[in-house]
């Protein structure tokens, strides 16, 4: 009998929560032969991740995953063998009661947000006693052996390498987005939140001696780019040039297509958690816009990752990359830091590729979750 999994996702905003849980659900089904129900309280957001989905369906199967609407009025179901509460969402009380009364024990996991902070290793895998005799275990993704690892399909880097080695495939993919490559231009993707630092970056790209093609998917970053351009509403397919900078508005795409976009670019500006991880697997230099939290606690997470990621870089490359990331996330002028980063491109290119290989040497998140269940039995 196949092991059953229930993954609960409450979509807060920005597609990050549903992006992570959808990837996890797909991988568990495809690689670990388990049955997964993904409970989502916002199917419209899910459709952005999976265009084939029906936003009105109470239950549907997509890519082997049973996707259920997590309605406010909960309808009783038999709990799964493994229950994943993604990002501290609150499970229905009736479901928790059913977990407690189930004859076969249920493993209850709280899948936490990604962090490189030191304390994560000490908390990973710890139980918390709940009512009804249940225990909830905290499961932390992470970048070290003492954490749950990162989402990564088994063949991800093989597929990436094949695509990046295939010039024709890259050109055809970009042409499908309406992007014709310019000779000698660097290609950059931009996926961020509203950002006060963005204008200074666009200024320096426009005034550079090197041509840049900036690919901007539909979303929150587009409004900031539009404001900088001084244009009216920009739609998919728009191409605008300012100095050395050519901006392409591309569609919001599925996760698999977004991977191809990241693999196609020389540099990727990303945000949140899902795109942040996928940019690392691209093996290319990146710029992370972390989700802002009250009292700037997100800067602790940012600095922890910067320290980890830049370890081993030459001092100058380490300093300029740190300066760029901090300026980007505090709304400061990024012009000077960007020029230094561009000068350090060879070192940063090599480092990004090496970092991806190092992280891929560890068990991935889905495999770690499955192993945790097997150890728990």
Which one from 6, 17, 81, 274 is the annotated catalytic residue?
17
Cβ neighbours for 91, distance < 8 A, ≥ 6 positions apart: 8, 83, 85
How far, in Å, CA of 349 to CA of 266, rounded?
A: 9
How far, in Å, CA of 275 to CA of 262, rounded?
A: 9
How far, in Å, CA of 316 to CA of 236, rounded?
A: 39
For the four alpha carbons of 109, 112, 114 and 115, in that order, the dihedral sign comes to negative
Which one from 203, 273, 274, 364 is the annotated catalytic residue?
273
In three-state secondary structure terms, 347 is helix
How far, in Å, CA of 71 to CA of 248, rounded?
A: 38
How far, in Å, CA of 118 to CA of 28, rounded?
A: 28
On whether the CB atoms of residues 289 and 270 are closer than 8 A, the answer is yes
Active site residue 166: no
Q: Where are the alpha helices (DSSP H) in the chain?
A: 16-32, 43-49, 93-101, 119-123, 156-164, 167-176, 198-206, 220-229, 255-264, 274-281, 298-309, 315-330, 335-343, 345-360, 365-376
Residue with tokens 């500006």: 269
In three-state secondary structure terms, 68 is strand
Active site residue 172: no
Please tell me the chain's helix, strand, coil percentages from 3-state DSSP, rounded to the nearest 5. Answer: 45, 20, 40
133 DSSP 8-state letter: G
Q: Which residues are catalytic?
A: 17, 273
């Amino acid at each position: 009998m196949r092991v059953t999994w229930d993954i609960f996702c409450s979509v807060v905003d920005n597609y990050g929560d549903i992006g992570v849980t959808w990837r996890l659900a797909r991988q568990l089904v495809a690689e670990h032969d388990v049955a997964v129900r993904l409970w989502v309280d916002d199917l419209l957001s899910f459709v952005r991740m999976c265009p084939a989905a029906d936003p009105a369906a109470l239950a549907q199967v997509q890519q082997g995953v049973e996707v259920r609407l997590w309605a406010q009025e909960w309808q009783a179901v038999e709990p799964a063998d493994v229950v994943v509460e993604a990002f501290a969402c609150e499970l229905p009380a009736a479901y928790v009661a059913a977990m407690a009364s189930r004859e076969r024990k249920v493993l209850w996991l709280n899948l936490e947000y990604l962090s490189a902070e030191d304390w994560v290793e000490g908390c990973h895998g710890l139980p918390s006693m709940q009512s009804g005799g249940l225990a909830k275990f905290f499961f932390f993704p992470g970048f070290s052996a003492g954490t749950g690892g990162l989402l990564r399909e088994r063949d991800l880097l093989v597929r990436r390498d094949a695509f990046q080695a295939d010039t024709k495939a890259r050109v055809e993919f970009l042409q499908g987005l309406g992007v014709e490559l310019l000779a000698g231009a660097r290609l950059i993707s931009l996926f961020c939140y509203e950002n006060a630092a963005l204008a200074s970056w666009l200024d320096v790209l426009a005034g550079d001696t090197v041509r840049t093609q900036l690919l901007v998917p539909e979303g929150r970053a587009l409004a900031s780019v539009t404001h900088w351009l001084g244009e009216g509403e920009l739609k998919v397919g728009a191409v605008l040039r300012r100095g050395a900078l050519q901006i392409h508005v591309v569609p919001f795409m599925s996760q698999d297509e977004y991977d191809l976009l990241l693999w196609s670019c020389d540099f990727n500006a990303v945000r949140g958690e899902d795109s942040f991880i996928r940019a690392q697997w691209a093996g290319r230099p990146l710029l992370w816009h972390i989700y802002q939290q009250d009292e700037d606690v997100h800067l602790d997470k940012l600095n922890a990752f910067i320290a980890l990621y830049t370890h081993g870089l030459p001092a100058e490359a380490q300093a300029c990359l740190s300066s760029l990331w901090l300026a980007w996330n505090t709304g400061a002028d990024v012009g000077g830091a960007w020029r230094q980063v561009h000068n350090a491109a060879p070192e940063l290119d090599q480092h990004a590729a090496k970092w991806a290989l190092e992280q891929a040497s560890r068990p991935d998140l889905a495999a770690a979750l499955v192993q945790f269940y097997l150890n728990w039995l």
